[in-house]
Amino acid sequence: MLQSRTILLIALLVVSAISSLAQGRTYDDIIETKQLIVSVYRDFAPFSFEKDGKAHGIDVDIAKQIAKSLNVELTVRFTTADESVEDDLRNTLWKGDFQTKTKSDLMMRVPYDRDYSQMRDDIGELVHDRVHMFAPYHTESWQIAFNKNKIEEVSTMAVFQYHDIGVEVDTVPAFYLTGAFRGTMTKHTHHYPNIRLARDAMLAEEVDAIMGLRSEVSHLLVEQPANFELATNAFPLIGRQQWDIGMAVKSDYRQLSYAIGDVVTEMVKNGQMARIFEQYGSIYQQPTYYNP
Amino acid sequence: MISAGKTKLKAVAAVIAFTLAAGANAKVTDKDIINDQATTNDVVSNGLGPRGQRFSPLTLINTKTVKDMRPVWGFSLGGEKQRGQESQPVVKDGVMYITGSYSRVYAIDAITGDELWQYDARLPDGIMPCCDVINRGVALYDDLVIFGTLDAKLVALNNKTGKTVWKKKVEDYKAGYSITAAPIVVKGKVITGVSGGEFGIVGKIRAYDAKTGQIAWERPTVEGHMGYIWKNRKKMENGISGGEAGKTWTGDLWKSGGAAPWLGGTYDPEVDLLFFGTGNPAPWNSHLRPGDNYFSSSRLGIDPDTGKIKWHFQTTPHDGWDYDGVNELIPFNYKDGRKTVKAAATADRNGFFYVLNRENGDFIRGFPFVDKITWAKGLDDKGRPIFNEPVRPGNPALSKDGKKGSTVLAAPSFLGGKNWMPMAYSKDTGLFYVPSNEWEMDIWNEPTAYKKGAAYLGAGFTIKSINEDYIGVLRAIDPKTGKEVWNHKNYAPLWGGVLATAGNLVFMGNPEGYLMAFNAKTGEVEYKFNTGSGIVGSPITWKMNGEQYVSILSGWGGAVPLWGGEVAKRVKSFNQGGMVWTFKLPK
Contacts of B178 in chain A (CB under 8 A): none
Identify the pLDDT of residue B24. 53
Contacts of B126 in chain A (CB under 8 A): 42, 78-80
How far is B287 from chain A, CA to nearest CA, in Å? 7
Read off the pLDDT of residues B304-315 as tens digits, 9 standing for 90 and up: 999 999 999 999
The structural architecture, per CATH, of the domain A20-139+244-290 is 3-Layer(aba) Sandwich (3.40)
Question: Averaged over A260-287, what is the pLDDT?
Answer: 98
Compare CB distances from B198 to A85, A170, A186 and report the shortest one's residue.
A170
In this complex, do A237 and B397 lie within 8 Å of one another by their Cβ atoms?
A: yes
In this complex, do A240 and B442 lie within 8 Å of one another by their Cβ atoms?
A: no
Phi, psi dihedral angles at B426 (to 5 degrees): -100, 125
Provide, rounded to the nearest whole percent, the portion of chain B with pLDDT above 90. 82
Identify the pLDDT of residue B402. 58
Identify the pLDDT of residue A169. 92
How many Å apart are CA B499 and CA B433, to the nearest integer? 8
Contacts of B130 in chain A (CB under 8 A): 83
Q: Which residue from A minimizes the CA distance to B287?
A: A179
How far is A110 from chain B, CA to nearest CA, in Å? 6
In this complex, do B451 and A81 lie within 8 Å of one another by their Cβ atoms?
A: yes
Query: pLDDT higher for B232 or B129?
Result: B232
In this complex, do A187 and B250 lie within 8 Å of one another by their Cβ atoms?
A: yes
Question: Averaged over A62-79, what is the pLDDT?
Answer: 97
The structural architecture, per CATH, of the domain B2-584 is 8 Propeller (2.140)
For residue B23, is pLDDT > 50? no
> H or E stretch including B10?
helix B2-20
Query: pLDDT higher for A10 or B54?
Result: B54
3-state SS class at B17: helix
* Residue ranges of chain A that CATH labels 3.40.190.10: 20-139+244-290, 141-230
Identify the pLDDT of residue A19. 45
Identify the pLDDT of residue B394. 83
3-state SS class at B221: coil
> How many CA atoms lie less than 13 Å away from B260 in the CB half-sphere?
24
Cβ atoms < 10 Å from Cβ of B206: 23
Question: Averaged over B158-187, what is the pLDDT?
Answer: 95
In this complex, do A180 and B397 lie within 8 Å of one another by their Cβ atoms?
A: yes
Where are chain B's structural domains? 2-584
Report the phi/psi class of residue B469: left, alpha or beta, with left for phi > 0 and alpha for psi in -120 to 50.
alpha
For residue B142, the cross-strand partners are: B28
Segment among A24-28, A164-168, B169-173 with least mean pLDDT: A24-28
Segment among A46-60, B159-173, B443-457, B474-488 with least mean pLDDT: B443-457
How many Å apart are CA B561 and CA B489, to the nearest integer? 20
Query: pLDDT higher for A270 or B131?
Result: A270
Provide, rounded to the nearest whole percent, the portion of chain B with pLDDT above 70. 93
For residue B12, is pLDDT > 60? no
Q: Which of A40, A76, A137, A171 would best serve as a mutation to test chain B binding (most B beta carbons within 10 A)?
A: A171
CATH topology for the A141-230 domain: D-Maltodextrin-Binding Protein; domain 2 (3.40.190)
Compare CB distances from B200 to A78, A169, A239 and report the shortest one's residue.
A169
Tell me the pLDDT band of B560, cut-offs 50, 70 and 90. Answer: confident
For residue B17, is pLDDT > 60? no
Strands of the sheet containing B265-268, edge to edge, are B265-268, B273-277, B298-302, B309-314
How far is B301 from chain A, CA to nearest CA, in Å? 30
Say what the ipTM of the complex is: 0.89
Read off the pLDDT of residues B235-265 as tens digits, 9 standing for 90 and up: 999 999 999 999 999 999 999 999 999 999 9
Q: What angle do CA B304, B339, B310 make, to 5 degrees?
A: 20
> What are the CB-based long-range contacts (under 8 Å, 24+) for A87-91?
A88/A41, A88/B452, A89/A128, A89/A130, A89/A131, A89/A248, A90/A130
Tell me the pLDDT band of B26, cut-offs 50, 70 and 90. Answer: confident
Compare CB distances from B402 to A42, A110, A239 and report the shortest one's residue.
A239
Identify the pLDDT of residue B58. 98
Tell me the pLDDT band of B53, cut-offs 50, 70 and 90. Answer: very high
Closest Cα partner for A241 from B447, B458, B396, B446?
B447
Contacts of A122 in chain B (CB under 8 A): 442, 462, 464, 564-566
In this complex, do A111 and B453 lie within 8 Å of one another by their Cβ atoms?
A: yes
Identify the pLDDT of residue A83. 87
In this complex, do B448 and A172 lie within 8 Å of one another by their Cβ atoms?
A: no
Q: How high is the mean pLDDT of chain B?
A: 92
Identify the pLDDT of residue B197. 66
For residue A273, is pLDDT > 90? yes
Q: Which residue from B minimizes the CA distance to A173?
A: B456
In this complex, do B128 and A119 lie within 8 Å of one another by their Cβ atoms?
A: no
How many Å apart are CA A113 and CA A173, to the nearest integer? 20
What's the per-residue H, E or C state across chain A? CHHHHHHHHHHHHHHHHHHHHHCCCCHHHHHHHCEEEEEEECCECCCEEEECCEEECHHHHHHHHHHHHHCCEEEEEEECCCCCHHHHHHHHHHCCCCCCCCCCCEEEEEECCHHHHCCECCCCCECCCCEEEEEEEEEEEEEEEEECCCCCCCCCHHHHHCCCEEEECCCHHHHHHHHCHHHCCHHHEEEECCHHHHHHHHHCCCCCEEEEEHHHHHHHCCCCCCCEEECCCCCCCCCCCEEEEEEEEEHHHHHHHHHHHHHHHHHHHCCHHHHHHHHCCCCCCCCHHHCC
Q: Which residue from A minimizes the CA distance to B202?
A: A193
Tell me the pLDDT band of B448, cut-offs 50, 70 and 90. Answer: confident
Task: Count CB pairs under 8 A between chains A and B.
Answer: 141
Contacts of B464 in chain A (CB under 8 A): 122
Identify the pLDDT of residue B398. 66
How many Å apart are CA B119 and CA A118, to the nearest integer? 45
Q: What is the dihedral of CA B208, B211, B214, B217, to 10 degrees?
A: -20
Tell me the pLDDT band of B196, cut-offs 50, 70 and 90. Answer: confident
In this complex, do B252 and A85 lie within 8 Å of one another by their Cβ atoms?
A: no
Asked whether the beta carbons of B351 and B412 are under 8 A apart, the reply is yes
Identify the pLDDT of residue B22. 40
How far is B12 from chain A, CA to nearest CA, in Å? 31
In this complex, do B453 and A47 lie within 8 Å of one another by their Cβ atoms?
A: yes
How many Å apart are CA B437 and CA B466, to the nearest integer? 10
Question: Averaged over B20-33, what is the pLDDT?
Answer: 75
Which residues of B are marked as active site?
322
Contacts of B125 in chain A (CB under 8 A): 78, 99-100
How far is A143 from chain B, CA to nearest CA, in Å? 12
Compare CB distances from B452 to A81, A113, A176 and report the shortest one's residue.
A81
Question: Averaged over B141-167, what is the pLDDT?
Answer: 97
Task: Decide the pairing of beta strands B55-56 and A189-192.
Answer: unpaired
Q: How high is the mean pLDDT of chain A?
A: 90
Read off the pLDDT of residues A131-181 as tens digits, 9 standing for 90 and up: 999 999 999 999 999 999 999 999 999 999 999 999 999 999 999 998 888
How far is B452 from chain A, CA to nearest CA, in Å? 6
Phi, psi dihedral angles at A276 (to 5 degrees): -60, -45
